[in-house]
Amino acid sequence: MENRIVVIIPFYNVSKYIIQCYQSLVEQDYDNYTLVFSDDGSDDGSLDLVPDHPKVSKIRRAQRGRALENIHQAIMTTAMQDEDIVTIVDGDDFLLHDRVFYKLNAIYNQRNCLLTYGQFCTNNGCMGMCTGYTREDFERLRSAFWRASHLKTFRYKLYKAFLEQDAQLDAYRDEQSRFYPMAYDIALMYPLMEIAGYENIYFNKDVLYVYRLYEMNDHLNRDMQVACEQHIQAKKPFVRVF
């Protein structure tokens, strides 16, 4: 079965890198996919550089909302079915080779999972920090070492289950009820992992994703990053559904 893969590509001012991201996606050896390029108020013409393509849709946000809000709005404005595989690829990053979608499809078919995460490498060749969670670590997920990074994917029905528990998106908001400006990965993935349950999550050790290190990366504003992470980690876990 060839599952539909819906790739959400959030970005802000990535005109230097967006074409490499685009090419790594449209060159996939796979037919059933949709690409959603969601521009978070860029002022460098990033979205205008994305070529028109029958499998591409474009969203242009008038005001910057940061990645977490951008991803949520892109998911909510894209028509999807329960079994579609939502995949997050930042617009300044790219996929490693043209069989990534094929690999994802095989994992979901063979493992019958609801969510995957994986190992990545940086554009200068360094390996990421991702490993699989043990059951013991998963039981204390929000205090365990963070492992669920690129490539992040999940069934759309899992996101729907999240919205049923948190229609107001409190999981995504700080003490002023604003969307977190950083740490979108843990804000997005913690609830989905908790709702899915340990048995329905799969760690893919094969590198599929290239993370670009450059001056716009969130890790450069480390104090704000840590503050967001700590606030997210202190929140109450979600109730398992699956």
Cα gap 169→80, rounded to integer Å: 20
Cα gap 206→218, rounded to integer Å: 25
Residue 224 lies in a domain: yes
Structural contact between residues 44 and 124, judged by C-beta atoms closer than 8 angstroms:
no
pLDDT of 205: 96
Residue 238 lies in a domain: no
CA distances from 192 to 107, 121, 179 (A): 18, 24, 17
Q: What is the β-pairing status of strands 5-11 and 85-88?
A: parallel
pLDDT of 208: 98
Residue 212 lies in a domain: yes
Q: Name the residue range of residue 87's domain.
A: 5-233
Determine the average pLDDT of the residues in 112-141. 96
Number of domain units in the chain: 1
Share of the chain above pLDDT 90, in %: 91
Residue 240 lies in a domain: no
Summarize pLDDT for 132-187 with one digit per residue, the tens.
Answer: 999 999 999 999 999 999 999 999 999 999 999 999 999 999 999 999 999 999 99
CATH number at residue 176: 3.90.550.10
Residue 64 lies in a domain: yes
Summarize pLDDT for 14-32 with one digit per residue, the tens.
Answer: 999 999 999 999 999 999 9
Summarize pLDDT for 50-72 with one digit per residue, the tens.
Answer: 999 999 999 999 889 889 999 99
Determine the average pLDDT of the residues in 72-80. 98
Determine the average pLDDT of the residues in 85-108. 99
Closest CA to 225 of 116, 153, 146: 146
Instruction: Quickly list H helices, the chain.
Output: 18-26, 66-76, 100-111, 135-139, 156-165, 184-196, 222-233
List for the chain the helix, strand, coil content (%; round to 5). 35, 20, 45
Residue 92 lies in a domain: yes
Closest CA to 39 of 78, 73, 4, 79: 73
Q: Is the per-residue pLDDT at 222 higher than 90? A: no
| pTM listed for this prediction | 0.96
Residue 151 lies in a domain: yes
Residue 242 lies in a domain: no
Count how many residues are written for the chain. 242
Q: Is the per-residue pLDDT at 217 higher than 80? A: no
Report the 10 Å Cβ neighbour count for 87. 24
Report the 10 Å Cβ neighbour count for 226. 12
